[in-house]
Each structure stands twice: as C-alpha cells, then as structure tokens.
Structure 1
Amino acid sequence: MPHRQVMTVLSGLLLGMFVAILSSTVVSNALPQIVSDLGGGQSSYTWVVTASLLTLTASTPLWGKLSDLYSKKLLVQLSIVIFVLASAGAGLSQSTGTLIAWRAVQGIGVGGLVALAQVILAALVPPRERGRYGGYFGATFAVATVGGPLLGGVITDAPGLGWRWCFYVGVPFAVIALVVLQRTLTLPGGAVRRKGVRIDWLGSLLIAASVSLLLIWVTLAGDSYAWLSWQTAAMVGGSIALGGLFVLVEKRAAEPVIPLSLFRNRTITLTALASFFIGIAMFGATVFLSQYFQLARGQSPTMSGVMTIPMIGGLFLASTGSGLIITRTGRWKRWLVTGGALVTAGLGLLGTMRHDTAYWQVGTYMAVLGLGIGMLMQNLVLATQNQVSSDRIGAASSVIAFSRSLGGAIGVSALGAVLAERISHHMADGFANAGDAPGGADNGTIPDLSALPAPVRAVVESAYGHGIADIYLYAAPAALLVLALVVAVKEVPLRTR
C-alpha cells in the first residue's frame, strides 16, 4: 500500500489511540485533588492507577487472540465504546472504591486499543517500513501524554468545571474516532472468523487471578501486614500456584491466550523480559511525577502538566526520529541499547532531586528519561513482530504489551507501597528535627498543602520531594536489567514484506 493510503487507513486508529491516552493522562495532575476530595490516601492513589493497569494487563493477551479470530475493526471500535462508558462512570464516582472499579473497566478498553493498534499496523505494513509508522504512534502517544495533563490541569482549576470533567472530556473525541474508523479502516479478511476455534477463557481467568493476587499482596504488604508474614506466604504462594496452573492449561489449549511456543524464540523471550522491566521503570517513574510537582513543589495541576513537557518532548523526538531512521537503515538494535542506557541514567538522576532542586535540572533529567523511553517502547514491539509469521502477529504483539503492562502494574503497586513508607519516614524525621508534632499531616491521606501551617507544610513538601526521589532509585535497577537484556538480543534484518 502507498504511504498516503496507509495513513488514511491509520487515521482513525491514531485518533482512537489519542483518545485512550488522552483520557488516561488527563486525570494525572488532578489525581492528588481527586483522592483528597474523595477522602482517600496514598494506597487509594496507587490503586486508582493500578486498577486500570491490572485489567489492561489481564485483557491484552485476550484482545490479541480475539484479533486473530474476529474482525479487528469491530474489536477496536468495541474497545473504544467500553473505554468511553467507563470514563463516564468514573466521572460520576462518589468514593475512591467506585472510582477504582470504573478505572478497572477503563483498563479493559485501553487493553484493546494497545493490543489492536500494533496488530492492525502489522497487518498493513511490512517490518522494514513499520519503524516509520511506529514512530507516528509514538508521536501520538507523546502529544496525548503532554496534552492530557495540561488539559486536565486547566479543567481542574477552571471555575464551574472541576476534576469530574477530566473523565467526560474524551467522549466527543471518541465519537469522532468511531466515525473515522468506520469510514477509513478496511482490512482484507478483517471480518472473517476461523471456524472451529474457541477462546481460552480458563487461561485468561488464571493469568488474571495470578496477577491480581500478586498486586494485592504488593500493595498491602508493609502496611496491613509485614512483608514477612503468613499473609505474604499465602498470597505469593497462591499467585505462583495459579501461574503454574496457567502454564499447564496453555500447554493443552488448542488456541492458548499466550502461546508458550513463542518463548522458544530467544529474541521474543528477551524482548518480553525487557518490556516487563521497562514497564516497571516507565510507569513507576511517570505516575508519581504529578505528586512531586504538586505536593513537593506546591504547583497547581495546570503547572504540573507544563512542567512535564521536557520528558514528553524527549519521548516525542526519540520515538519519531528513531522510527524514521530505522525505516531508512533497517538497523534497530543500537536504538534499544541507547534507550536502555538513557532510561537508567534518567532514573538515577531523578533519584538525586529534592523539593527545592532547580527546575532546569529536573527538566534535564526528565528529558533524558523521555528520550530513552521513546527509543525503547515501539522498537521492542518491532523487534518481536519481525520474528513471527503473519498469523501469529496478534499473539506476539500482545505478549509484549502484556509484559509491559504487567511490569507497569507491579511497578506502580510496589513503588507506591515504598513511597508511602518513605514519605512517613522522611516526615517523621522532619518533625523530629523541627521539634514539632505532625499535627495531622501524616494521617495516611493526601494532604491539602494550602490548609497546612507554614512549618508543617515545609516538612511535608520536603518529605514528598525526598520520598518520590527515593522510588526512582528503586526503579533504576529495573532499567539496568533492560539494558542488559537488549544488549543480548541478536539483531535480525527487518523483513521487507
């Protein structure tokens, strides 16, 4: 297909991706205020993010398998509808529990878009040309990521609107995306189902249960019970047992949700592991940035969005630039290695920041991290798709998306638990050094800085600045593992058909 025709077909898909990412990121800078208004604490803040990542993780392989069996066009439209309905429900939430439940439904819709976008791109474009179009997806991701927090901040601060409109704002864009997809997305054989094939529902249920149990343990450990306790043994043991049952089921399933035979390919195994660890680093690093700017530096939701531009700019440049160069040269490994090194460096640098670190330094650190993520995210998918035949593109693409989402969910849960502990630790030290009692600032809820006395506010800002920096140091080893894994990947020339 000529470039113009490909772009016409992809236009609705890019718009759908834009809607999903925008609707996800538009709440990021509003989350501290949302959780505070609904009476939630640090655990609630973490679960508002983790809930969507969990269902995204669990549903991604299933969407990938469905795309091998049913109409890709119908599935991507269905995923948008699910996402929009869940967004409206989230906007009507009156408690953190309800909000978390609707966010979980949102994740199912996002899982469809994440998996199907890569599958449809692979159905239209050969691997050698895919880097170019993968760059466009990366650019769309970057624009929606930077536009979302900015828009969310403006909506949250605007009189007469408030944070609930952050969930409603994506609805008109989604309607447009559905119309455009209906008119432009045409795939040969896209509506044909293979006969005699059944979905591996048992495998899907087992992997979802295993991951959910693991995430619940990570979130509650250290707070509701000790890390070394009978609860830990029960949850971790149960998760491992469910994972073992999942492997047994997959070996016998006629159409496994995650074909284990894919992992006989060394490149796919390495890229899946790298995607898992980049998920830990990427989601764990970016989710808490809004807390840093609002609770450590006292910025408004709008300014919090503005201040993340260096990271999104780096992601935008690296994603589009590397995609175009890969299309010209056919060489992709150097970008993975450079990206792994930059993510490791960026996380290490962010680990040195405090609440009063000069913004130009924080901006530079974020730009380094963004460049690394931009080089890694799309190109790990590209390297994987280049290893499989066309009839397994859906399964292979969903394995990478699943691994990245699983890493992200575990990263957000684990780092969120660590963050709560580190903030309490630094806050206790700060009040001890100041000779004051906490005065209710450290009661487990997200604080309202404007309501705190000046001495207490200074301690709270310092604690959040130091605590959030600590989690970047915890995430840095995951990025170092990504670097080691991509160095071990053997570069295979990209196919031209």
Structure 2
Amino acid sequence: MAVEARARTQEPHDEHVGGNVLVSIGALLLGMLLAALDQTIVSTALPTIVSELGGMEHLSWVVTAYLLASTAATPLWGKLGDQYGRKKLFQAAIVLFLVGSALCGAAQNMPQLIAFRALQGLGGGGLMVLSMAIVGDLVPPRERGRYQGLFGAVFGATSVLGPLLGGLFTEHLSWRWVFYVNLPVGVVALAVIAAVLHIPSRAARHVIDYLGTFLIASVATCLVLVASLGGTTWAWGSPQIVGLAVLGAVLAVAFVAVERRAAEPVLPLKLFAVRTFTLSAVISFIVGFAMFGAMTYLPTFLQVVQGVSPTMSGVYMLPMVFGLLLSSTLSGQIVSRTGRWKVFPIAGTAVTTLGLLLLHRLDENSSTAVMSTYFFVFGLGLGLVMQVLVLIVQNAVSYEDLGVATSGATFFRSIGASFGVAIFGTIFAGRLGDELGAALGGVPLPPGVSVDSLQADPRGIAALPPSLRPDALHAYAASITDVFLYAVPVALLGFVLAWFLKEDKLRASVTAPDLSETYASNPVERSSYDEVCRALSVLGSREGRREIYRRITERAGYDLLPATSWLVLRMKKYGTVEPARLAEHLPVPLSVIIAAARQTEERRLAVRNGLGLHLTDQGRQVAERLAQAREESLAELLGDWWGPDRPTDLVRLVKLLNEELSGSDREEPHDTGPGARIGRALT
C-alpha cells in the first residue's frame, strides 16, 4: 500500500541497459494486463461460479480475498524489489499469479476458490507495483510519463474488455477459462522478461515494516470478516463475531503503537494530521465501497433477474464503464489545467448517491434503455471523484510524504472496495432469505427445490412452476437492488465530507494521475521521487508541444527565435551541430533550421567551421543563461517543494530533465523522442 517514506536517492550504477526496451515494456504491459484483467473479467462469471460450486452467500469472498491479499502485499513487493532486484521479484510475482490462476481454474468448491484467489492476489499486487517501477528503470525521466501512460491505457481497455471476455468464456467455454486464460499470456510475459529485460542495479536499502504490514492486513481482514459473516453465517451477537471485532480492535491498537516507532512505517500516522488527507482517505474508502460493491452484484442482477447471457451482461455494464472513464479523464484534465478542484468531489459524491438511488429503482421489468441510463449516471459519479482524490492528496502534503500519501489514499480505496463487496454480500444474503421466504414460504415446491436451495443456486428458479417464477425473480431483484439503497447513506456521508475539503492552490507539478492509479482495487507504491518524476515528465511533454523554448527565451530576456534557443542549447550540450544533418534526422523543416542557424551567426552566437556550427564566447554566455532559465522553469513547477531545504534528489531530477530537453544527438527520421517532439513545437 504505502511507498517508501524516504525518496530513492541512489543513482543507478553505470551499467548498460541491455535488450530491446520496447519489447521489455511490452512484456511489462502483459504482466500488468494479467492483474488488471483479472479484476474485471471475474465479475460476469461470478453468478455461474457460485451456482456451480454452491454458496451464493460466499460470492463476495471470491472478490474480497483477491483485494485484501493484493493490497496487503503491495508495499512488500515494492521495497523488496528495491532491495533484491525488481526483475527477479517481477518474475516471482508472475509465477505466483499463474500458480494461483491455475489452482482457481481447478477449484472444486468455494473454500478452495477463495483460498486460491488470495494466492492469486499476492502475485497480482507484485505485478501492479513492479511493472510500473521497472519502467522508471528502463526509460529516462523525460520519457517516463509517456510510457507509464500506456499502463493507464491498459486499465482503460480492461475495464471495457474484462466483463465482455468473462461473459464469453463463461458462456462458450467454461467459467474456469476466466482463470486459465492467464496462463498463456503469463508464460509469454515470463519468457520475454527472462530473455530481454536488463535493469540497472540499484542499492536502495529499506527497513521494511513487516509487522506493520501484517497488523494492518489483519485488522482489515477481521473487520471484513465481521461485515461478511455477521448476520449470515453467525449472529451479530455470537461469540465468533464479537471475538473477531475485539481482535480487530486490539490489532488496530497494536498497529498504531508499531507505526509510531517504525523507521519506514507502512502508513505514517502524521498524515492524519493533514485534514485534506484524512477527508480524502474517507471519501476514497466510500468510492471504493460503492464502485466494487455495485460491480460485483450488478452482473448477478442482469443474469438472474433480467435473464441475459453472461456475455450480454458484460455488454450491459459498458455504459457504467464508459461513464466512469469519461468523467474520470475529463475531471483530471480540467483540474490540472484550471487548478480548481473542489467542485469535483462534491459533484462526484452527489451523482454517485443519485446513481445508487436509481439502481435501487431497477426491477425485473426495467428496460435496457433505463438500465443503461442508470448505469451511466452511476459510473459518471464515480469517475468525477476518482482522479481528483489522488490529485488533491498529492497537493496537500510535503515532498517527503508525497509517496506515502498517494499510496495511503489508494490503500483506503482498496479497503473500501473490500468492505463494499463484503457488506453488499451480507445485505444481499440476508434480504434474499427473507424475500424468498415471504414469496414462496408455505407454497408447495417441486421435489428437490426449496427456499434454501434457491438461495444457494438461482438456476433452481427454472424448475419452479411458471406461476411461481415471477415471485422468485422479484425476490432476487428486490434483494439486490435493496443493497444499493443501504449504500446511499454511505455515499451521502462522502458528499457531506467533500464540503469540508479545503481548496488549497494547486501546485503546478500536480498532474492528473494515470487510470492505473485511480482504479479502485489498485493500491499504488511509489516513492516521492517517482511521483514527481512522473508529474514533471507529463508536464514537460505537454509544454514541449506548446512553445517551451519561446517561454525559456522570454524568461532569459533574449529576443531570439525559439528554434535559435533550441539550436544554441544543442551546441552547448554536443559542442557542434550540423544544420543539414538536423533537418535530415528530425521532423523540423529545413527552413526553420536555416533561419535559426542564420540568426546564431548574425548575433555572433556561433561561427561556422566546415558544415558545423560552434558557439562563440558570447554564445556560451547566452547558452548558460538559457539553460539556467530552463532549469528555473522546471523548478518553478515544484512550488513550495523547491524550498531552501529542497532534497538533493529533486535538484538532481531537475538538472537531469534540463539536460534531456535538448534531445538526443542520434535521433532518426520520424523519431518520437524528446528532440522530435520539441522539434515539432518549433514549427
């Protein structure tokens, strides 16, 4: 869950990054695809799984076991990867995930499936964390945002494709293929990683908070067990439930005591002194609660009550996914550009509350158009608040706490998802027994069919006489939709809390996070350095397309063409430039380069020696001032993080990005690297 409390300060040793970087990143994307797809592909298969293995009341734990395991494992994977090498740990995570997938596909009963899902979740947490971290090892800071954006695209794609694929496999093959499909993809990723991935060695040592990780995972597990088993398996006042609640409270006290003394705490308690973080953590919990609770039980409503196929239930869910992706992307971009953000958590929680009320109104007679509209509204509300919560937490804390604050917010969202699924499941199971008993109690039923059997396996509805089927379907419909009504007060609490958020001025370096950072079940594990690196690379790319050199020239106080400043800085970095060669190898018109070269000679900034241009003494002075202005522009984006006591790794990052903005001296035609994008900006 949490990232390193201290930013990574060691530079990689001088070791060549071998292999094909693009192929390596492709394999990392496959690894991320495994974990991302597994969170969505299972949803449409769940009704069939619980029908075949028995135990509708245990449906929630198929999801919850994965969520809890992946959330608890996240901080360990990140720090162990730093300490012992990310390649080995990433391979271990793939193997663990594949073993869990194979066992899930072979499960013969619900307890087995739940246990194997937890094993799968342990591996999935590593796939999430390490794939993103390895990108930072493979590509320079200037390019990091662009490549990490690909992982966000994977999440967007799996949000759409997951429910569809889950339905297709379930309907045309078997629900077991929802898990087996991971095996060939994982084997390919494992082979490619072994063959081509070479990562610079690092020497980042950590004091890993094993006890804190164990305690916080145990507290979450106890509370989720209370929420899911209370009132169903055991009565609320039973010794088992009371014992679990007391154990959870004792473990929570122990966790607080341990975190106060931990050198690198998994969740620093000082963060809760920041009001924005505390409020955002609670709202994040609520968003995860509502999102995963609904995503888990809506396919059951569609397949059992509406009678649609598993595949079509995935299609019916698409409006919710599109609403979520649309509003999530737009809200993050608007906030990054305007600096105003408070309206989004308020509007998002309000629309989510409205969406839950609309979902409560669904029944067995609801039309496709009505369901699609309600699903879209619900997704729209979730998306409005998801991106922004991560962004405002990053804006509210000091640089040293940036990493742990980001991971802390995503941790609470993941725990909220676990609670949502568990509590929705408890309410559903309790309501279903009551509704079926009221509808069919005392009515003669066919042999082998009873209220208990119908509660465990909805396929028994088909064996009922035609006159009783509508009552049974209505019982299922009412039980599921009542769940959404019970969630309304929780969403309303989020709406009220959102009003208490203080809208601090947004730092320029705080940018909209990737989709992979905002998905409800994906806890994030990055250092403060990594977060700033990602943000500045995104901003640098955006500014590179918007006359970055015009701004630098203006800041330095010179009346030069933007292309002239670019050319002068290239000469400063490489000693000489050949205008004709630049025009051949970069997508910059020859006329622009000739005009820039002519101006350097007219202003006596450079002299020609053969085909190349070299800086004069005056040119070197101008180049120094331009470089300083460029560094100041980058530093300005960091706001109060760039204070008198700024960390050395931030200073190093700004200098590194400053150098990289000059581009490479070996760019090829149609290149898409930094020099190419800057070149396009000059035209």
Q: TM-score, normalised by structure 2?
A: 0.64
1:399 alignment partner, one of 384, 408, 414:
408
2:36 alignment partner, one of 21, 25, 30:
21
Secondary structure of the residue aligned to 2:208 is coil
Higher gyration radius (CA): 2
Counterparts in 2 of 1:78 and 1:386: CA distance versus 1, 3 Å = farther
User: Distance between the aligned counterparts of 1:137 and 1:376, measured in 2?
Assistant: 20
Q: CA deviation at 1:16?
A: 3.5
Q: CA deviation at 1:115?
A: 4.8
Q: CA deviation at 1:311?
A: 0.5
1:494 alignment partner, one of 503, 507, 521:
507
Which deviates more, 172-181 or 325-334?
172-181
Q: Say whether 1:458 aligns with 2:470.
A: yes
1:259 alignment partner, one of 260, 268, 277:
268
> How do residues 247-286 of structure 1 correspond to structure 2 at under 5 angstroms?
247-286=256-295
Say whether the 8 Å CA contact 1:346–1:366 is kept in structure 2. yes
Counterparts in 2 of 1:373 and 1:412: CA distance versus 1, 3 Å = same
> How do residues 6-405 of structure 1 correspond to structure 2 at under 5 angstroms?
14-38=29-53, 40-63=54-77, 65-66=79-80, 71=85, 75-76=89-90, 78-115=92-129, 139-158=153-172, 161-177=173-189, 191-195=201-205, 197-388=206-397, 392-405=401-414
Q: Residue 489 of structure 2 aligns with which residue?
A: 477
1:442 alignment partner, one of 452, 461, 467:
452
CA RMSD of aligned residues (A): 3.3
Q: CA deviation at 1:175?
A: 4.4
Counterparts in 2 of 1:120 and 1:491: CA distance versus 1, 3 Å = farther
Say whether the 8 Å CA contact 1:138–1:320 is kept in structure 2. no
- CA offsets 1:205-261 (integer angstroms, 9 cap, x no match): 222222222222222211233213333322111101111001101111112121212
Q: CA deviation at 1:383?
A: 2.3
Q: CA deviation at 1:177?
A: 4.8
- CA offsets 1:153-207 (integer angstroms, 9 cap, x no match): 111221xx311111111233334555777899998x7x42434x32111112222
Counterparts in 2 of 1:355 and 1:27: CA distance versus 1, 3 Å = same
AA partner of residue 493 (structure 2):
L
Counterparts in 2 of 1:316 and 1:181: CA distance versus 1, 3 Å = farther
User: Distance between the aligned counterparts of 1:367 and 1:300, measured in 2?
Assistant: 20
User: Distance between the aligned counterparts of 1:389 and 1:173, measured in 2?
Assistant: 40
Q: CA deviation at 1:275?
A: 1.1
Counterparts in 2 of 1:181 and 1:488: CA distance versus 1, 3 Å = farther
- CA offsets 1:79-123 (integer angstroms, 9 cap, x no match): 344322211221111221111111011222333344557777999
AA partner of residue 469 (structure 1):
T
User: Distance between the aligned counterparts of 2:402 and 2:291, measured in 1?
Assistant: 24
Structure 1 gaps of 5+ residues are 1-5
AA partner of residue 232 (structure 2):
D
User: Distance between the aligned counterparts of 1:179 and 1:383, measured in 2?
Assistant: 40
User: Distance between the aligned counterparts of 2:335 and 2:29, measured in 1?
Assistant: 20
- Percent of aligned pairs with the same residue? 44
User: Distance between the aligned counterparts of 1:247 and 1:87, measured in 2?
Assistant: 35
Q: CA deviation at 1:358?
A: 1.7
Say whether the 8 Å CA contact 2:437–2:451 is kept in structure 1. no
User: Distance between the aligned counterparts of 1:238 and 1:202, measured in 2?
Assistant: 16
Q: CA deviation at 1:421?
A: 0.9
Secondary structure of the residue aligned to 1:287 is helix
- CA offsets 1:2-60 (integer angstroms, 9 cap, x no match): xxxx999976655443321212322222222222222x212221211121122123223
AA partner of residue 363 (structure 2):
R
Counterparts in 2 of 1:242 and 1:153: CA distance versus 1, 3 Å = same
Secondary structure of the residue aligned to 1:194 is coil
Q: Residue 555 of structure 2 aligns with which residue?
A: none
Say whether the 8 Å CA contact 1:64–1:398 is kept in structure 2. no
Counterparts in 2 of 1:307 and 1:427: CA distance versus 1, 3 Å = same
Say whether the 8 Å CA contact 1:146–1:309 is kept in structure 2. yes
Q: CA deviation at 1:417?
A: 0.9
Secondary structure of the residue aligned to 2:236 is coil
Q: CA deviation at 1:333?
A: 3.2
Q: CA deviation at 1:364?
A: 0.8
Secondary structure of the residue aligned to 1:198 is coil
Q: CA deviation at 1:134?
A: 8.7
User: Distance between the aligned counterparts of 2:217 and 2:384, measured in 1?
Assistant: 29
User: Distance between the aligned counterparts of 2:327 and 2:482, measured in 1?
Assistant: 26
Q: CA deviation at 1:72?
A: 5.4
User: Distance between the aligned counterparts of 2:94 and 2:505, measured in 1?
Assistant: 35
AA partner of residue 42 (structure 2):
V
Q: Say whether 1:416 aligns with 2:425.
A: yes
User: Distance between the aligned counterparts of 1:485 and 1:333, measured in 2?
Assistant: 11
User: Distance between the aligned counterparts of 1:23 and 1:156, measured in 2?
Assistant: 14
Secondary structure of the residue aligned to 1:255 is coil
Q: TM-score, normalised by structure 1?
A: 0.86
Pairs aligned (count) = 484
Structure 2 gaps of 5+ residues are 1-20, 510-535, 537-683
Counterparts in 2 of 1:335 and 1:265: CA distance versus 1, 3 Å = same
AA partner of residue 57 (structure 1):
T
- CA offsets 1:270-324 (integer angstroms, 9 cap, x no match): 2111111111111111110111011111121111111111101111212233333
- CA offsets 1:112-152 (integer angstroms, 9 cap, x no match): 344557777999999xx97x999865553342122112112
Counterparts in 2 of 1:203 and 1:97: CA distance versus 1, 3 Å = same
Which deviates more, 400-409 or 62-71?
62-71
Counterparts in 2 of 1:198 and 1:420: CA distance versus 1, 3 Å = same
- Ranked by relative contact order (alpha carbons within 8 Å, sequence separation 6 or more), the top structure is 1
User: Distance between the aligned counterparts of 2:488 and 2:140, measured in 1?
Assistant: 35
Say whether the 8 Å CA contact 2:38–2:162 is kept in structure 1. yes
AA partner of residue 211 (structure 1):
A
AA partner of residue 303 (structure 1):
M
Q: CA deviation at 1:377?
A: 2.3
User: Distance between the aligned counterparts of 1:73 and 1:404, measured in 2?
Assistant: 28
